[in-house]
Each structure stands twice: as structure tokens, then as C-alpha cells.
């Protein structure tokens, strides 16, 4: 993986963006840093709300993933239909590495890179997921420390709400994607006007939106159905020695409340986008850097 440092101009731009929006985004980022520190158990590999369609059978799921089927299913939904074999994939806001591990085990990518702001998450990822085609890097979504046109696919799950300048992130996604590359993006929005703003920011970055899907009901179903798994897993990780009982209790309280209080009440929406970096060649469309059309099977 080629790594690059941000230019002084880019670093300055991020500082200005943070000042302009009046918040640093660090409060939420700090929370994930803390969770990584106080819950260093490598069995917890996802921190998203999950996804379940009505009557979902999970017949494709491997037995070792049974304990986190719903959050893993969100990652699976996000890349459904893409041909990921021999592709270079970047997962931004990778958290504890569950999506990266899913991608490298269920598909045959050439390379998967997970990036996260939280050093504790990156350290945990390196301990939890050992695979020759998988690597992790600490970095900021607004200043991706990665080379231009080095990825075929960028994924981003439930992380952008932490970013003070999402437009800088989208500009970075455009830069690191190869022409024809795909951006698979999903997040929760407490401000119901925010998805429209995100759509405009995506379009302004030069990415072409291929699909937009309001998946609130499916995420609410996944979160409610996955509660028992979270409760069991987090219960096993509560330890007096680490003093993490309060953190675990507050995580479980919020996981339990969100399906009704945020989703069923209509106070929050969960939206997924698929966008493409256009091919610069006039007249060509829908083909990636290798001349393939991007469509494929999902296991
Ligand atoms: C809700 S978790 C989702 C993690 C993962 N995508 C998943 O599905 O399990 C949000 C993640 O975004 C990361 N994050 C927050 N701000 C970030 C930033 N500026 N750059 C990169 N990652 C960031 C957090 O550290 C956290 O791991």
C-alpha cells in the first residue's frame, strides 16, 4: 500500500473546515477510542446497527460469524452485486475491522485496507484479523493518507456522522478511487434534512450517484434482532478490573432504545448510497479500470 502525507494546504483546509462547522468531531471519535481501550476483546468486531430483511434466512452465513450476523449483514448489503475479486478495497472508519474481515474471507480481493481515526481500534484490528491481504492504517477520513487512484472500491459504514467536514472525505474518496471505482456508503442521520445535503456533497465531489436507498426499517429490524447477541457479547466483556461496567451498560441502553426511539419514531433515518467515479474517457460508462462492468455475485 502506498501511503502519502497530506499537503500543508490540505491540513490547513481541514483546520478551517473544523473551525467553520464549530465542532471538532472529536467527542464521538474519543468515544470510539475509549471503547477500543476499555473493551479490547477481539470478539467484538462490529459497531454498526445491523441490517435484516423480512424473513432473512442467513443461509450464506459462516458458523463462526453467527454472533454478529446482523452487523455483518449491513456490510454484505452495501457491497451486494459488486465484483470484488482481485479488487483493492478501502474501508474508511473500519472500527474493529469486522467489515474488512468479512470482505477478505467471503470474497477474493487483491487487497483490503481498513482505516480508522481511533488508535485503539487499529491496534485491536491488527490483533484480531490476521490475513495476508489485509492491513490497517490509522488516519483521518478527511485526509486519507493513501495514493491517488489506488482503490477499486471504498466502503464507509456508520462513520461519516463523526466527521466535521464530510465534503473533504468525499473529495478524498474521489481522489483515491480509480476511474470507474465504486463508493459504497451508508450512515444514520438524526437531522432528517442531512441526507439531501450529503447527496449534494457527494455530487459536488464529482462522484456519480447510482443508487440511494432508505434502509431505516431494515436497520431497525437488524438492531432489534441483534440485541441479544450484543448483550451476550458485551456481558462477557464486562470486567471489574477494567472498570468498564458503566460503559457497557450505557452501550446496551442505547442499543435497546434506538429501534423505537430513533427509527420507529421517525427521528432518525439510515440511508445507503452507491456512487461511481466517472471514467474520464468520453463515451465510456459503467466500466472500471480493468474494463469489467463492476457487477457480480454476492455469496
Ligand atoms: C459506529 S463506528 C462504525 C465502525 C465500523 N464501520 C462498523 O461498521 O463496525 C464509527 C467509526 O468511525 C471512526 N471515526 C470517527 N471519526 C473518524 C475520522 N475522522 N476518520 C476515520 N474514522 C473515524 C470511529 O473511530 C469508529 O471506529
Domain ranges, ordered by start, for the chain: 8-43+62-219+267-276
Distance 292 CA to ligand 1 centre (A): 31
Distance 115 CA to ligand 1 centre (A): 9
pLDDT at 22: 46
Average pLDDT over residues 79-91: 98
Distance 83 CA to ligand 1 centre (A): 25
Query: Residue 297: which pLDDT band, with cuts at 50, 70 and 90?
Result: very low
pLDDT at 74: 98
Q: How many of the other CB atoms lie within 10 Å of CB of 253?
A: 10
Question: Residues 129-154, buried b or exposed e (16+ Cβ, 10 A)?
Answer: beeeebbbbebbbbbbbbeeebbbbb
Domain 8-43+62-219+267-276, CATH: 3.40.50.150
Note the pTM of the prediction, 2 decimals: 0.90
Distance 93 CA to ligand 1 centre (A): 4
Ligand 1, residues at Cβ distance < 6 Å: 29, 32, 46-48, 92-95, 98-99, 116-118, 121, 140-142, 157-159, 162-163
Question: Which one of 117, 154, 169 would you pick to mutate in the ligand 1 pocket, going by the greatest count of ligand atoms within 8 A of its CB?
Answer: 117
What crossing angle do the helices spanning 194-204 and 166-176 adopt, rounded to 10°?
40
Max distance between CA atoms of the chain, in angstroms, equals 63
Distance 245 CA to ligand 1 centre (A): 22
Question: Is the pLDDT higher at 281 or at 219?
Answer: 219
Angle made by CA atoms 298, 48, 269, in degrees to the nearest 5: 95
Question: Which one of 159, 166, 255, 258 would you pick to mutate in the ligand 1 pocket, going by the greatest count of ligand atoms within 8 A of its CB?
Answer: 159
Question: Is the pLDDT higher at 177 or at 1?
Answer: 177
Report the alpha-carbon distance of residue 48 to residue 222 in Å, rounded.
Answer: 10
Amino acid at each position: 500500500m502506498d501511503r502519502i502525507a497530506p499537503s500543508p494546504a490540505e491540513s490547513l483546509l481541514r483546520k478551517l473546515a473544523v473551525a467553520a462547522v464549530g465542532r471538532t468531531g472529536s467527542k464521538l471519535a474519543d468515544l470510539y477510542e475509549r471503547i477500543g481501550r476499555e473493551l479490547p476483546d477481539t470478539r467484538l468486531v462490529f459497531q454498526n446497527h445491523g441490517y435484516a430483511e423480512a424473513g432473512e434466512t442467513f443461509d450464506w452465513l459462516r458458523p463462526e460469524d453467527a454472533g454478529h450476523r446482523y452487523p455483518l449483514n449491513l456490510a454484505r448489503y452495501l457491497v451486494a452485486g459488486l465484483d470484488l475479486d482481485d479488487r483493492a478495497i478501502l474501508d474508511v472508519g473500519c472500527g474493529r475491522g469486522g467489515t474488512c474481515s468479512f470482505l477478505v474471507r467471503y470474497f477474493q480481493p487483491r487487497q483490503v485496507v481498513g482505516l480508522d481515526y481511533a488508535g485503539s481500534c487499529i491496534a485491536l484490528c491488527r490483533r484480531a484479523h490476521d490475513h495476508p491481504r489485509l492491513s490497517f492504517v490509522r488516519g483521518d477520513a478527511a485526509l486519507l493518507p493513501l495514493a491517488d487512484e489506488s482503490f477499486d472500491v471504498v466502503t464507509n459504514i456508520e462513520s461519516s456522522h463523526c466527521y466535521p467536514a464530510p465534503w473533504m472525505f468525499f473529495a478524498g474518496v474521489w481522489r483515491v478511487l480509480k476511474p470507474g471505482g465504486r463508493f459504497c456508503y451508508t450512515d444514520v442521520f438524526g437531522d432528517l434534512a442531512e441526507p439531501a445535503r450529503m447527496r449534494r456533497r457527494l455530487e459536488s465531489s464529482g462522484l456519480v450517484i447510482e443508487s440511494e436507498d432508505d434502509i431505516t426499517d431494515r436497520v431497525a429490524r437488524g438492531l432489534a434482532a441483534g440485541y441479544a447477541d450484543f448483550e451476550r457479547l458485551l456481558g462477557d466483556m464486562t470486567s471489574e478490573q477494567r472498570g468498564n461496567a458503566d460503559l457497557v451498560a450505557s452501550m446496551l441502553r442505547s442499543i435497546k432504545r434506538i429501534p423505537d426511539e430513533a427509527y420507529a419514531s421517525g427521528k432518525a433515518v439510515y440511508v445507503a448510497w452507491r456512487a461511481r467515479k466517472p471514467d474520464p474517457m468520453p463515451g465510456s460508462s459503467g466500466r472500471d479500470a480493468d474494463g469489467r462492468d463492476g457487477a457480480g455475485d454476492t455469496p
